[in-house]
Structure 1
C-alpha cells in the first residue's frame, strides 16, 4: 500500500530528525490521510506529545491558510495522532475540547470540522447548493464518472429527477423478495458448512464481514442491474474485478495524494494497472446489460412504470426502470456511471451495517435473544414480506442504532462554492463563522451521532432509544428528537432527529437509495438471527478498525456460528 509506505517514510524521517523532509511528505497528505488502524473502539486514549513535525506542520498551516478562518477555534492536530487510530477518534477528542465548529490545522491546509446538527442542517439542507463534494468528487470521478455521488450540481439535478422515482414502493416491495432469496443463499451456505462439521457443538468459525460483503454484492447485482453475481457460492472474473474496484475506490477516498493522475501512472504503478483492467471488465459487463435492456425497451411514463405488477415482472431491476422511462433518454456512459455509483455505494454500506449489527449484538446476548424472539413471533415459518418488515420493529431499530454508532461513512466532505456564514452551533459563537469560497469542510457524522449534548449515553448500544422523544433542553436552534415528526417513516431519519442523526446524509443530496439499504439490512439480519446464534471468536477488543469510505475491520469479523437451539 502506497499509504503505508508514506506513513513509514514519515516515521523514519522522524527517527532521523529530518523534519523538513517529513513535512514535505506530509504536505501532500491533505485531510484524512492514509488508511489507519485502531485496536479498540474507545476514544479514551492518551494524547500524543507534540514533536517537531507537529509544530512545523501547524506553523505551516497557520502561515498558508490559518488567517482565512481566524475567528474559529483551532485544533492544532498532532500529525502523530494520525498514526495508531482512526482519524475520527481524534476529531471527536478535539470536538470535546474545541467545540462543535473548529479549524483543523494539518499540513499546509486548514479544514473546518463540523459536529453540530444546526450547522449540518445549514450546509446540507438550507444552503445545500452553495456546497459541492469537493476533493471527494475529484478523487471518485475516474471511477464513478458523473454518478450521483461525485456529480456536479447541474448533472446531479438532472439525474436525481430520473433515478429517485425508481425507488418507489412497488419496486421496494419486489426487492424484499430479492433480499430474501439472496439471504437464503447465505443461510443455506452456513447450514451446509455446519453440517460438514463433526464435533458436538456443530459450530463453525466464519468471517461474517466477508460473508455479508458477498451477500450485499449479490443483492446489488440483481436489484440494480438484473445480474446475478452469485458471489455467495462462487468466484468469477467479474466478481474479482468488482472487489478490485471497490478496494481502489476505498483507497482513493482515503488517500489524498492523487498519484493516479500522474503521467503513465496507469501502467507504471501495478495497482493502477490492475484497477484499469478491473474497470474494463466491469464496464464491459455493464455495457452488455445496458445494451440488452435497451433492446427490450418498453417505454412508458413514470406513473405507469410505478404501477407495473412487480410481483410478476421478470426483470424488476432499477436499470429496467431507467431504460424504460419516457423522456429520460441518456447515453450509455451516464447510465454506466449511475450503475457504478450504486454498485460501490450500495455494496459498502450494507455490508458494513450488517457487520457492526452482529458485532454489537454479540456483545449484548440479551438484546440478541430479544431480536430472535421478535423474528420468531413475526415470521414463524413464513417468508419475509414488506409488511412483515414493518412488524420487525426491534430489528429495524438495531440496524439504525448500528448506523448511529458506526456511521457509513463517518465523515461527509463538502467544499464551499462561495462565501458563506456558518451558524455558531451549540456553545459556539453567536455571530457564527464566516468562511470563504473554497473552504473544505468535514461534517463529522461520527461526532454528531455520539455527541453528549444531543444524545443520552451516546456510546451505549441502545436500540430502544429511538422510541423515546428527547426535548431540545434549551438548545437554541435544535428541535430535539421526536419519533412522530416524520409520519409514515419506517426508520428514524434526519428529520426525526433534526439533523443530529445523519445515517444517509440529509437535504437534497441525501442518499437516494437509503430505504433500499435499510430494508436489505433488515431482511438479511432477521434471516441470520432466525437460524443462528452468533458469538465473537475472541473479545471485542480483538476487532481492529480500519477507516476508509466506511468503517470496517482490519482482519474480518470472525465469529462462532451455530444453529439455534430449539
Structure 2
C-alpha cells in the first residue's frame, strides 16, 4: 500500500486509508473502561483524568478541558462515565496527527454527529468522498472569483452600515445594538450570495433559515456530549420535542437548498475549467460557487452531494466569520489605545469616513491593513472556531513527546479531541497567552523546552494571516494538513472588509462588564446572550 499522503497534492489515487470495524470499536471501548476504572494496565501510556460530569456536560466542554490541560499536560486521557477520549494540546503532537499522519484518522464522533446535518459534506466526509469533492471545490476559490467577492463583501457590509445608521438616527446620536446578531446577519447574507446566489436579506429581516441552522447546530452540540444516543431510537423524532423540532428544521433547510440547486441547474454553462477561472465576474449573472460547481460537476456527483457541499459551506462559511468579528470587537472595545491604532490604520489606508455614503476596501487595501488582519488572527487565537477538532484513530499511532515526557500511543479505535483552545493558549508556546496582543504575530518566539517545536517565526507569513506553518502548529485557526479549511482566504478577506467598514464609521463601547459576556458552544463559540454595544458615529 502507498504511504499515506500529508497534503492534498500528495494524494495517490491508489491510496486507501485504514478501515475501522465494529469489532475494533467494541474491543477498544471495553479495554478503555477496564484500564480507566479497573485493574488492567494501560496500553496507551497516557495519564488519566476522570472528568467531572457537571463540568463536561453543564457548559462548553472546551472551557473544562483547559484546567485539566494545565494539570495533566499536552496529552491526557479524559474519562467521564462510559466515554473516554484522548485530549491533545501540544503543537508537536498536533502536527503528527494533522500533517504527518492525517489519514491514520477519521472524523469519528464528529462525522456521526454532523452526518444528519451535513451528510457527506467536506467536513465530515469519509476519505473517498472527501478526496473527490475537495478536488471539485478547491478550483472554485480561484483568484478572479475572490477578487469579485471583495466587492460583494463591501455591498453586504454597506447594508449593515445603513442599518446601524438608522438605529443611531432613531436613538438621537447613539444606539444599543447586539453586534453579534448584526455580524451573524451580514455574514449570512454574504455566504448566501457568494455560495448560492440567494439573498437571505437577514440584515433587514429575520431569516427562518438561519434560525433553523442555529437550532440544528445546538442539537449537534447536545449530541456530542450526551451519554446515550436516544435520538436513534424509533419514533424519537416524533415523540421527543427537541428531536421533532430538529427534523422540522432540517426539512426547511433541505427544501431551500434543493430549490437553489434546481434553479442553478436551469442555466446552461461551460464545463471548461480554465474558462471558468478566467471569467469577468462583473459581467456574470450568477457568480456563485454553486454555479461553478454545477458547471464543472462530474457525472458521478449527485444532487444530494451538492446539497451536502452547500450545507457544509453555509455553516462553516458564515458561523466562523461572524464569531471572529464578534470576539475581535469584544477584545478591541476593552483596549482603547489599541482600538485607536487600528482605526488610524484604516483611515490611513481608506481615508476618513466623510459623507453619508459608506465605501468598502478593495483587495489591495485589505492587504495594506496589517494590524486589522492581525487583530482578527489574534481573536482566532483566543477564540478559535471551532475550539475542538475531533478525530478517531484508524491504526496505532505512537506520539512524539513535545512538551511532555510520557510515551503515549493512540490506540486503533480511540476517539481524540484536539483542543485548539488549549493549543492557542499554551503557556509554553505563547508569551502572556491570555492577553489580546495582535503584535505578538510580528515577534519571533521560541521555547527549547518544547522538544522538536520550531517556535513562531513571523518571517514565514506568506498570506493574509499567520498560520500553522508560521507557528509550527501552535496556531491552527483554519485547521492544518490535508484537511485544512479551503475557505480560509475567503474568510479573512470577508472579516477584514467588514471590520474595517464598521470601525471606520463608528465608535463602540461595551454596555456591560466584559466578564459578564459568557460563552456558548455550537459549531463555533457564541456569546451567552449576545454582545450589546453602544454605537455612535465617529
Q: Does 1:175 align with 2:175?
A: no
Q: Which residue of 2 aligns with 1:484?
A: 459
Q: How many residue pairs end up in the alignment?
A: 502
Q: Which residue of 2 aligns with 1:299?
A: 270
Counterpart pick for 2:438 among 451, 455, 463:
463
RMSD: 2.1
Q: Which residue of 1 aligns with 2:339?
A: 368
The verdict on how the C-alpha distance between 1:66 and 1:390 changes in structure 2, with shifts beyond 3 A counting, is farther
Counterparts of 1:251 and 1:346, CA distance in 2: 22
Counterparts of 1:443 and 1:401, CA distance in 2: 19
Q: Which residue of 2 aligns with 1:23?
A: none
Counterpart pick for 1:426 among 389, 392, 403:
403
Q: Does 1:454 align with 2:454?
A: no
Counterpart pick for 2:158 among 184, 201, 205:
184
| Cα distance, 1:350 vs structure 2 | 1.1
Counterpart pick for 1:405 among 379, 382, 389:
382
Q: Does 1:507 align with 2:481?
A: yes
Counterparts of 1:66 and 1:163, CA distance in 2: 47
Q: Which residue of 2 aligns with 1:34?
A: none
Larger mean Cα displacement after TM superposition, 511-520 or 403-412: 511-520
Counterparts of 1:563 and 1:65, CA distance in 2: 66
Counterpart pick for 2:392 among 387, 411, 415:
415
Counterpart pick for 1:385 among 340, 362, 370:
362
Q: Which residue of 2 aligns with 1:195?
A: 169
Counterpart pick for 1:311 among 266, 269, 282:
282
Alpha-carbon contact 1:69-1:103 (below 8 Å) kept: no
Cα shift readout 1:439-498 (whole Å, capped 9, x = no counterpart):
0111110111011101111111100111112234353311111122243x1111111101
Counterpart pick for 1:521 among 477, 481, 495:
495
The verdict on how the C-alpha distance between 1:283 and 1:109 changes in structure 2, with shifts beyond 3 A counting, is closer
Alpha-carbon contact 2:158-2:360 (below 8 Å) kept: no
Alpha-carbon contact 2:360-2:501 (below 8 Å) kept: no
The verdict on how the C-alpha distance between 1:353 and 1:163 changes in structure 2, with shifts beyond 3 A counting, is same
Q: Which residue of 2 aligns with 1:279?
A: 250
| Cα distance, 1:504 vs structure 2 | 1.0
SS of the residue corresponding to residue 492 of structure 2 reads: helix
The verdict on how the C-alpha distance between 1:483 and 1:297 changes in structure 2, with shifts beyond 3 A counting, is farther
Counterparts of 2:416 and 2:177, CA distance in 1: 39
Q: Which residue of 1 aligns with 2:6?
A: none
Alpha-carbon contact 1:124-1:506 (below 8 Å) kept: yes
Alpha-carbon contact 2:402-2:453 (below 8 Å) kept: no
Structure 1 length as normaliser, TM-score?
Answer: 0.85
Counterpart pick for 2:291 among 294, 311, 320:
320
Q: Is there any run of 5+ residues in structure 1 with no aligned partner, and where? A: 1-30, 32-57
Q: Is there any run of 5+ residues in structure 2 with no aligned partner, and where? A: 1-28, 354-358
Counterparts of 1:324 and 1:338, CA distance in 2: 15
SS of the residue corresponding to residue 556 of structure 1 reads: coil
Q: Does 1:135 align with 2:109?
A: yes
Counterparts of 2:339 and 2:95, CA distance in 1: 34
The verdict on how the C-alpha distance between 1:325 and 1:561 changes in structure 2, with shifts beyond 3 A counting, is same
